[in-house]
Structure 1
Amino acid sequence: MISYFRSILPSRLILLVLIYLGIQLPLIIWGIPATTPELLHMLVGERLADGFSMYKGVYDNTAPLSAMVFWVIDLMAGRSFLVYRFTAMVLLLLQAIIFNSTLNHHKVYASNNYLPALIYLVLGSLSFEFDMLTPLLIGNTFVILSLPYIITLSREGFDNNRLFVGGFMLGLAAMSYLPLAMFLIVGLFAVIFFSSNTFRSFMLMFCGFLFPYAMLMTYYFYTGALSEFITLHLLRPWQLQVDFLRPPADVAKLMAIPAVILVLSLLSASSLPQRLVFQVKFQQVMWVWLLTSLLIIFTRDEISVATFTLALPPIAYFSEFFFYSGRKLWILNTVFLVALAGVLVLRYRLVLGLNKYLLLDESPLLLDPDNKVPIQNSTVLVLGNDIRYYTHNKPVTPYLNWELAQRHFGKLGEYKAVFDIYENFRKEMPAYLIDKEGLLPELTYKLPAVFGRYEQTEYPDIYKLK
């Protein structure tokens, strides 16, 4: 099977797509699990579709370009987990094809082939988390698009526009998921390895990076939301409070197959004979890419399998050195088939009833379908982290993210915070308040004109607008 993809005939690409769809589509037909992160993204898109602006009418740290994607999806399909999964599938497929095409176009290997795309898509099918439409997945697409521009063999006054475009793509990646701005490190090393004028070339790329942010900050300045944009987008993702969304043991089990392939590939790459200068420099760039990806992954406040999407390009690149090595073909095929079988077992473990042996817990990410709430098809605000109340209801007021809402609700002793709450509720009044934090007595005392209009229902933590 490995030898079949050592070619760039159109039939190889068609089979590649069919393998990917063959792994993914049966699970979509079987049923898509609803997840908390995707619901949050849908709520952001819904608020934007209702005419509210990001960071001013929606208190959330979703990056602006990703928020625009969620807004467009809400305009076209509303709340649809199916559309989100299909969009994520298409993005992952495009990433693999674009990345592989870049490698072939620049003659990174001794011969052109589709092996990197094959490994990319197989490993990208390892978990349903890779099929979630996340800001990181959106941003990773722009990082891959920047690759052919940042490895330009720059000559004075000749390829300057390419470096600017490469920086612009990295700027769009950061506008999708801000920590991806750290890929400027990859751009810096690419400039060092490939360009004749390092400082001038990097500044040109850096200007390209800043250009979309300059336009965006100008927009937020004129709309009066610049301070909120700086607070919620530019400063928020650098809190460095590392936490796992899923048990670390589960993440380790799921990422064992990519880790083994990466180790085998790196060992094979280290034993290669001398190659062309460009190929050696490109490999050095991919080393920096790998280290930067791991740095971003392990410094995030929410680490899950989905964050390892960043590591797929370098793993796919280095895998070529193992699967195209001089080892006997039956050994390479056996390793690939074992990896493919492992991916299928992990992905279909629930359908096959194998999870009792693997003991993987996905519940921290999933919305409980059996946990019904007594409110349906109404407007609500949850004072707390219980997001399930938004599943069949519409959120109102900017306080979508409870952690960020602490800027106001966590400072009820400050006049400014209480006044901001009053201003937001004066514009929108939810039909129901779900008080999970026991804040309503204090809020009623300090803002009786707003919260005095709510009366308790038969449920102790649910209050209805009179």
Structure 2
Amino acid sequence: MISYFRSILPSRLTSLVLLFLGLQVPLLLTGIAATLPELLHMLVGERLADGFAMYRQIYDNTAPLSALVYWLVDLLAGRSFLTYRAVALVLLLLQAVVFNVTLNRLSVYASKNYLPALLYLVLGSLSLEFSMLSPLLIGNTFIILSLPYIVTVSREGFENNRLFVGGFMIGLAALSYLPLALFLVVGAFAVIFFASSTFRSFLLMLCGFAFPYALLVTYYLYTGALEEFVTLHLFQPWQLKVNFIVPPAHIAKFMCLPALLLVLSFMSMLSLPQRLVFQVKFQQVMWVWLFTSLLLVFTRPEISTGTFVVVLPPIAYFSEYFFVSGRKAWLLNLVFVLVLAGVLVLRYRELLHLNRFIKIDESALLLPQAPATAIQNTTVLVLGNDIGYYIHNKPVTPYLNWQIAQGHFGNLSEYQAVFDILKNFRSETPAYIVDKAGLMPELQYKLPAVFGKYKPTTDHEGIYRLTR
């Protein structure tokens, strides 16, 4: 099987696509598990499609380019978990193919093949989170697109525009998921290894990175939302309070296969023959890529299996060395079959009823069953983290993200916070308020003109209905 993908014939690429679809499509056909992050992204896209402005009328720290993607998806399909998964799979496939084509075009290996794309797609099928349309997945696409530009062998006056484009791509990645700005470190090392004029080349790449931000800052300045953009996009994601969404031991069960493959690849690299200077320099860039990816993963406020999607490119790159190491064909095929079987077991563990042995709990990601209330097809505001009430209802007011909403509802002793709440409720008034935080008595006392119109329902505690 491994020898089949050592060729770059078009049939190999077709086989890759079919293999990836074979791994993913059965899961889509058997039902799609709704998740909390996806619902929040859908709500952001829905609010944008309704004409509300990001950051000024939608309080959420979703990066602007990712918010644009969610807006486009909502325009095309509305609230559709199937569409979100389909777009995510297309991006994952695009990343694998573009990454492999880049490696082949740059001749970073002794021979051209489709092994990196094969390993990328197999390991990319490891977890449900890799199939979710997350900002990190969107941004990782631009990081891969930047690769052929940042490793350019620069010739003064001829190739400078390529470094600008590489920085521009990293800037788009940061506009999709801000921590991806760390990949400027990868770009800096690529400039050191390849560029003829290091300082000028790095400044050019930095200008390319800053260019999309300059455009966006200008836009928000003229629309009166610059302060909110700076607060919610530039500052919010860097609050380093590490929280494991999925227990660390369960994340380790997912990542043991990629880690084992990396170890085998590093051992195989020790016996490699002499290579070209360009190939050695490119490998050094990939080492920096790997360490930068791990730094990004372990410095995020929330860590789960999905954050490891940024590690897929360096794993796919280094793993190729093991599968062309000259070991016996049966051993290489056996390792690949074991990796493929491990991916199938982990991904299909629920359908195969194997989770009682593997014991991986991803319930923290899943959307809880909709609360048994009579609130359906109406407008709702939830004061708390339970966004399950939005499944069959429409959110109103800017307070989508409860963590960010604490800037107002967590400071009710301050005049400015109370005034901002009053201003937002004058623009939009929900038909129901679900008070999970126990704030309604204080809100009714301090803002009776707004919250005094809400009366508690008799059948469900903590739910208030607007009365005329």
TM-score normalised by structure 2 residue count: 0.99
What is aligned with 2:151? 151
Distance in 1, Cα, partners of 2:374 & 2:289:
49
Aligned partner of residue 279 in structure 1, secondary structure: helix
The equivalences for 1:12-91 within 5 A come to: 12-91=12-91
- Segments of structure 2 that go 5 or more residues without pairing to the other structure are none
What is aligned with 2:463? 462
Distance in 2, Cα, partners of 1:140 & 1:199:
26
The Cα offsets for residues 95-129 of structure 1, whole Å up to 9 and x where unpaired, read as 00000000000000000000000000000001111
Tell me whether 1:117 sits opposite 2:117 in the alignment.
Answer: yes
* Letter in structure 2 aligned against 1:211: F
* Letter in structure 2 aligned against 1:126: L
After the TM superposition, which parts of structure 1 deviate over 6 Å for at least 4 consecutive aligned residues? none
Tell me whether 1:217 sits opposite 2:189 in the alignment.
Answer: no
* Letter in structure 2 aligned against 1:89: L
What is aligned with 1:331? 331
* Letter in structure 1 aligned against 2:183: F
Deviation at 1:373, TM superposition (A): 3.9
The equivalences for 1:284-299 within 5 A come to: 284-299=284-299
* Letter in structure 2 aligned against 1:461: G
The Cα offsets for residues 229-287 of structure 1, whole Å up to 9 and x where unpaired, read as 00000011111111111111110001111110011112212332220000000000000
Distance in 1, Cα, partners of 2:66 & 2:107:
33
Tell whether the 8 Å contact from 2:370 to 2:389 is kept in structure 1 after alignment: no
Distance in 2, Cα, partners of 1:202 & 1:349:
47
Distance in 2, Cα, partners of 1:415 & 1:46:
31
Distance in 2, Cα, partners of 1:400 & 1:439:
16
What is aligned with 1:431? 431
The Cα offsets for residues 360-386 of structure 1, whole Å up to 9 and x where unpaired, read as 111100012365343111100000001
Aligned partner of residue 68 in structure 1, secondary structure: helix
Aligned partner of residue 349 in structure 1, secondary structure: coil
Tell whether the 8 Å contact from 2:6 to 2:113 is kept in structure 1 after alignment: yes
Tell me whether 1:300 sits opposite 2:300 in the alignment.
Answer: yes
Aligned partner of residue 464 in structure 1, secondary structure: strand
What is aligned with 1:189? 189
Tell me whether 1:404 sits opposite 2:404 in the alignment.
Answer: yes
Aligned partner of residue 433 in structure 1, secondary structure: strand
The Cα offsets for residues 119-161 of structure 1, whole Å up to 9 and x where unpaired, read as 0000000111100000000000000000000000001111000
Distance in 2, Cα, partners of 1:311 & 1:271:
24
The Cα offsets for residues 406-453 of structure 1, whole Å up to 9 and x where unpaired, read as 110011111110000000000000000001111111111111100000
Distance in 1, Cα, partners of 2:124 & 2:272:
27
Aligned partner of residue 351 in structure 1, secondary structure: coil
Distance in 2, Cα, partners of 1:39 & 1:148:
35
Tell whether the 8 Å contact from 2:370 to 2:391 is kept in structure 1 after alignment: no
* Letter in structure 1 aligned against 2:200: R
What is aligned with 1:142? 142
The equivalences for 1:228-243 within 5 A come to: 228-243=228-243
Mean Cα deviation higher: 261-270 or 70-79: 261-270
* Letter in structure 2 aligned against 1:324: V
Determine what percentage of the aligned residue pairs are the same residue: 72
Aligned partner of residue 302 in structure 2, secondary structure: coil
* Letter in structure 1 aligned against 2:53: S
Distance in 2, Cα, partners of 1:374 & 1:234:
40
* Letter in structure 2 aligned against 1:113: N
Aligned partner of residue 266 in structure 2, secondary structure: helix
Distance in 2, Cα, partners of 1:270 & 1:420:
62
The Cα offsets for residues 163-196 of structure 1, whole Å up to 9 and x where unpaired, read as 0000000000000000000000000000000011
Distance in 2, Cα, partners of 1:320 & 1:372:
52
What is aligned with 1:170? 170
Mean Cα deviation higher: 269-278 or 435-444: 269-278
* Letter in structure 2 aligned against 1:444: Q
Aligned partner of residue 169 in structure 2, secondary structure: helix
* Letter in structure 1 aligned against 2:434: I
What is aligned with 1:9? 9
TM-score normalised by structure 1 residue count: 0.99
Tell whether the 8 Å contact from 2:369 to 2:388 is kept in structure 1 after alignment: no
* Letter in structure 2 aligned against 1:62: T
* Letter in structure 2 aligned against 1:342: G
Deviation at 1:216, TM superposition (A): 0.3
Aligned partner of residue 233 in structure 1, secondary structure: helix
The Cα offsets for residues 339-393 of structure 1, whole Å up to 9 and x where unpaired, read as 0000001111111110110111111000123653431111000000011111111
* Letter in structure 2 aligned against 1:463: Y
Query: Could you say if the C-alpha distance between residues 387 and 370 of structure 1 is closer, same or farther in structure 2, counting changes exceeding 3 Å?
Result: closer
Deviation at 1:338, TM superposition (A): 0.4
